[in-house]
Structure 1
Amino acid sequence: MTNEQDGARDQLERSLMEIAIESWRFSRLFSRVVSKLDAGEANRYANQLRYFQKKVEESLDSSGLKLVNVEGQPYDAGMAASALNLGDFGPDDVLLVDQMVEPIIMGPNGLRKQGTVMLRKVEA
């Protein structure tokens, strides 16, 4: 492959990752809106959302990419995500990932894009 082809391939992958991240954000927002609807309507829209998410996942998979969500997991400094509010906690605090702001994107050769998270302290 030439440098030009490599550059075009990298640009396509970056574009796909950007679309995937925005789709992930939209899905989360859409989920919150659907949760406010009555049960009959909510079911129909929830099914459409699942279908949309499945199609996005299939497209990413065909390119060797995967979105990773670590919400609810214990925070580890070695995690492939930067914490926006890490400075709000002490060094001995036990932390959980409270919210994903941006998902982690993994590729066939490892990390493609670091995620962003908000943390919360585990209450003893």
Structure 2
Amino acid sequence: MKIDESNQSEQLERSLIDVAVESWRFSRLFARMINKLDAGEANRYINQLRYFQKKLEESLDEAGLKLVNLEGHLFDPGIAASPLNIGDFEQDDTLLVDQMVEPIIMGSTGLKKHGTVMLRKVSA
């Protein structure tokens, strides 16, 4: 019986993580669409987006989960994210996380899901 409950709990956590990642993606898409609107119209929607993001963070926090976004941070090969375009750079290039394609998900016990990133070279 305990194994069943543990398995069910893990499955529930995986489902929550999947919903969180898809919600994160949708939020980013919605933000890009808002940026295409004129300022007056955009203001109406930006508050709805902020509310949605706050509710997502609160719900994840209650489950002991957190979305991690590394955009703008220096890239380190040890981060919990796979770079899609690492082959575009030289080994001695200083790289920055330009875009998160998928966020990193952390839990109270550590890493729950690796992220995916796009990199860019830091301008000298």
**TM bracket, shorter-chain basis:** over 0.9
Instruction: Compute the TM-score of the two structures, normalised by the length of structure 1.
Output: 0.98
Instruction: Compute the TM-score of the two structures, normalised by the length of structure 2.
Output: 0.98
**Alpha-carbon deviation of 1:57?**
0.5
Task: Please show how residues 4-23 of structure 1 align to structure 2 within 5 Å.
Answer: 4-23=4-23
Q: Does 1:68 align with 2:94?
A: no
| Identity level (%) | 70
Partner in structure 1 of residue 122 of structure 2 = 122
Segments of 5+ residues of structure 1 without an aligned counterpart are: none
Distance 2:85 2:4 in 1: 40
Partner in structure 2 of residue 35 of structure 1 = 35
**Alpha-carbon deviation of 1:74?**
0.2
Distance 1:123 1:62 in 2: 40
Q: Which amino acid aligns with 1:70?
A: L
Consecutive aligned runs of 4 or more in structure 1 exceeding 4 Å deviation: none
Task: Please show how residues 77-88 of structure 1 align to structure 2 within 5 Å.
Answer: 77-88=77-88
Segments of 5+ residues of structure 2 without an aligned counterpart are: none
**Alpha-carbon deviation of 1:79?**
0.6
**Alpha-carbon deviation of 1:48?**
0.2
Aligned length: 124
Task: Please show how residues 102-121 of structure 1 align to structure 2 within 5 Å.
Answer: 102-121=102-121
